Structure 1
Amino acid sequence: MEAEGRVPGPPLPPPSPGSGGGAGARADAPAGAPGAARGPPLAAAAEVLSLDDEEDDLEVFSKDTSLAEVNLFSPSMPISPSSMINQYKIEDEPELRDLFITVDDPESHITTIETFITYRVVTKTSRGEFDTSEYEVRRRYQDFLWLKSKLEEAHPTLIIPPLPEKFIMKGMVERFSDEFIETRRKALHKFLNRIADHPTLTFNEDFKVFLTAQAWELSSHKKQGPSLLSRMGQTVRAVASSVRGGVKNRPEMFTEMNNYMETFSQKINVLDKIAHRIYKEEREYFNEMKEYGPIHTLWSASEEDIADSLKGVASCIDKCCKATEKRMAGLSENLLPILHEYVLYSEILMGVLKRRDQIQGELDSKVDALANKKTEKDLFSEEIGKLEDKVECANNALKADWDRWKQNMQCDMRSTFTNVAENNLRYYEEVKPFLIAMLLLQWRSPRVVCKEKFCILVQTCVSFRTSFCGEAVILILTHFKQNVFYLCPSS
């Protein structure tokens, strides 16, 4: 297993009286030294997302330790899992929400043609445009896709929240497994609530129909959309616009947005791959460590002189497994979904920018036609005026939504990486006493020990691949000085 996938921290000193009981970082340790106080994960996350010109391969992200060597903690500030959250507590601006949506209760439906899952969508609202204050409908994944397409059609330059992918990626769980259904339910719940929180999308008429109409009413409403020929015409115009090439007079702001999103897409995809690789290595580490407990238990049956110590080691390993499993659950629930959501967001943003360029490209083509056809000046002037207004509206809408999306992205990333750092701190604080207890069980009383068994026990400590090995060796050497040990004649 690669070392870069997991970098365990050194054992922390016991809390001094009056220190609040939290495991604090050593403020006097030199920067970069083992045990030195590390900068908050916010600084590392901000540097990763700063979109500078550093290399983009996996080695840069996995081996570059400079991101974590900035110490921003003052000596007087308590460093503990609870205090980290207090330092970076995200306080949302007070908002008066009037639309609450819940997606739950998935049900499987089997027909002669297909098998699909429906989800219950419960809406509670105090808005006047709704006939009642509470609605309950059932929707399938195809209905969510329809809603997203209608929102993109009505608001081509707004950032529509992403939906989870329809198809299962290689190596993922089965389509109708409980784990997959629950993951999709959470993503659909977040999708609807992001729309409800959006200042413009929340008042979309199709969104209201999606939340309130029964299944047969929704099917009837879908048929009222544009005809096939109309949709084909829109597709042909979009393709023709893309063939014409880039726009001539794109504002600098949107050029910067496009460059930002190209770099952001590259970075977030690398982060997503690294996060999945870390989770895979954690899972392999967990599966490997699970085997050590039974091995030590069986070993204790054949070694009567150290049976108690081996049973203690097995117990400590089991507790470490539970802590590792809890940490893996935190990664799969808090880190992986957020990163993958912003991978999808990057694709959506690139599509939004392309649609804005298509609108401006249409304006540019009319301007060129006006210059070439003076006789049609009046007609084109009217169309140009409308398109100029349309471009201005598109620009204003995208500017406002860009700032809002960027703020939400930074907020989500900050919260996510703070959460991961919290889980890591809790993990090492939870595992430390078990490992120290394991050593004390093996060396608490003087006895005759042969060199071969001594080496096996030391190698057992080292096999944990943690940074507590240094402390283990110190304990063993100290015990040698305080007690008289004899080596077997065979040694």
Structure 2
Amino acid sequence: MSEHTVPADLSGHMLDLDEDEDLEVFSKSTSLADGSSMPNSPSSMVNQYRLEEDDEEQQNGNTKDIFITVDNPESHVTAIETFIMYRVLTKTTRSEFDSCEYEVHRRYQDFLWLRSKLEENYPTLIIHPLPEKFVMKGMVERFSNDFIETRRKALHRFLNKISEHPILSYNQHFKVFLTAQELAPHRKQSAGFLSRMGETVRAVANSVRGLSSRPEEFTLMQEYLENFSNKICSVNKVTQRVIKEQREYLDELKQYSPTYVQWAGLEGELAEPLKDVASCVERCSKETEEQIQHLSQVLLPILHEYVLCGETLKAVMRRRDNIQAEFEAKNETLASKKADKEAMQVEVDGLADRVEMANNALKGDWSHWQNSMRTDLKSAFISTAEKNVEYYEKCLAVWELFLLSQRVEPRKELDEEDVS
């Protein structure tokens, strides 16, 4: 347990949005403008990882028995609110389902309900985070296509992470979410306000009281988590800064090309080379734009997702500690109590069992989460490395082709000297 950690405060980079509005978030053409093809460097490693990844995907497909798709987002406008409704398609071979296919429509608040029920039933399992109730400044506009697509992808991943979980995927609330045409009757069955308030008060009391001794394995988990969160937050922030700087560079490139075209109009012998340079700059601008899009849509979302995972894990660790703290408090009360020890002993024994169950659940899910995290991040990093190699190879090929076009054959040079 070493490297890896959790999120810093991102509030300075976010815009708070209204939950009721459901505004939470979270081609390789290689030719120049003149039609000339660009040579690709033989050193490219872009395709060398594909076979291994395809094999892994095929193995996962052979073991999965629930396949979920979140698509077809639609805006709904009422007298009091505007929200997005998503279609959730499910295909399954599990015997506990009455059918093998389902189609339902859900809004963001329904996803929140599902996650809260899973968290309530399994307080020390690691439940994948949902996109937040705010969005990054400057990244998306309200109800823009980019915003809606970002949200859809995050909700799709959320449901599929649950479907791949060996325990969460068998939860009754998850089944209801996927199959019930109307969720309202099920949502009304949630715990009452006073019950939730009582749980919150007990949790706060246990948190203030603290633990007498946390098991060493969970202390190591906590240290690992802090390291992970710090590192993933740093990488996330640097990636945002790189994207910002790349966008500024792209803006400069877009001004650069027209300048060469205008200059070409003032020159005679240099006109064609200047136009070729303008064409090269324009092509590199397009490649830069694609690279920025890849960073924004592939690398940044997965980094931010695991920033949120860090916060989720911190909450899970707090809940585990609260369960142990409640057990310790009751055990101390039992030791000092003179009357009614039998009833108190039953309660203490029940809490001891709860602590053991919570510890076992977290230990098992910790390994599952780590494997998933490493797979997700490895895939994102490899994809980004491939895109970087492709980007620089294409830009290099653009300028190599320009150099080839500007070369003058030695024989031709001699003939021109003789004529002079």
TM-score of the pair, normalised by structure 1: 0.72
Deviations 1:413-458 (A, max 9, x none): 1111111111111111111121123344456379xxxxxxxxxxxx
Look up the match of 1:198.
165
Deviations 1:70-120 (A, max 9, x none): xxxxxxxx8722235568888365552211111000100111101111000
Letter in 2 for 1:203: Y
Asked if 1:50 corresponds to 2:17, the answer is no
Distance in 2 (CA, whole Å) between partners of 1:96 and 1:89 is 15
**Aligned residue runs from structure 1 range 55-94, under 5 A:** 80-83=45-48, 91=56, 94=60
Please tell me whether the aligned partners of residues 121 and 211 of structure 1 are also in contact (alpha carbons under 8 angstroms): yes
Distance in 2 (CA, whole Å) between partners of 1:279 and 1:376 is 65
Change (3 A) 1:84 1:132: closer
Distance in 1 (CA, whole Å) between partners of 2:73 and 2:45 is 40
Look up the match of 2:196.
231
Larger-Rg structure: 1
3-state SS in 2 of match to 1:248: coil
Change (3 A) 1:89 1:115: closer
What is the deviation of 1:50?
2.7
Look up the match of 2:184.
219
Look up the match of 1:438.
402
Letter in 1 for 2:282: D
Distance in 2 (CA, whole Å) between partners of 1:364 and 1:336 is 42
Distance in 2 (CA, whole Å) between partners of 1:378 and 1:361 is 21
Distance in 2 (CA, whole Å) between partners of 1:96 and 1:292 is 53
3-state SS in 1 of match to 2:212: coil
What is the deviation of 1:145?
0.7
Distance in 2 (CA, whole Å) between partners of 1:255 and 1:440 is 62
Asked if 1:103 corresponds to 2:67, the answer is no
Asked if 1:242 corresponds to 2:237, the answer is no
3-state SS in 2 of match to 1:100: strand
Deviations 1:443-477 (A, max 9, x none): 6379xxxxxxxxxxxxxxxxxxxxxxxxxxxxxxx
Asked if 1:184 corresponds to 2:137, the answer is no
Mean alpha-carbon deviation: is it higher for 164-173 or for 391-400? 164-173
Aligned length: 375
Q: Give identity over the alignment, percent.
A: 54
Change (3 A) 1:183 1:51: closer
Letter in 2 for 1:338: I
Look up the match of 1:270.
234
3-state SS in 1 of match to 2:270: helix
**Aligned residue runs from structure 1 range 27-426, under 5 A:** 50-51=3-4, 80-83=45-48, 91=56, 94=60, 95-215=62-182, 218-244=183-209, 246-426=210-390
What is the deviation of 1:196?
0.6
Distance in 2 (CA, whole Å) between partners of 1:232 and 1:51 is 34
Taking only aligned residues, the RMSD between alpha carbons, in angstroms, comes to 2.3
Please tell me whether the aligned partners of residues 222 and 317 of structure 2 are also in contact (alpha carbons under 8 angstroms): yes
Letter in 1 for 2:80: I
Deviations 1:14-65 (A, max 9, x none): xxxxxxxxxxxxxxxxxxxxxxxxxxxxxxxx9xx8359xxx9xxxxxxxxx
Higher relative contact order (Cα pairs below 8 Å, separated by 6+ residues): 2
TM-score of the pair, normalised by structure 2: 0.84
3-state SS in 2 of match to 1:101: strand
Distance in 1 (CA, whole Å) between partners of 2:70 and 2:53 is 30
3-state SS in 2 of match to 1:261: helix
Deviations 1:132-154 (A, max 9, x none): 11111111111111111111001
Please tell me whether the aligned partners of residues 85 and 418 of structure 1 are also in contact (alpha carbons under 8 angstroms): no
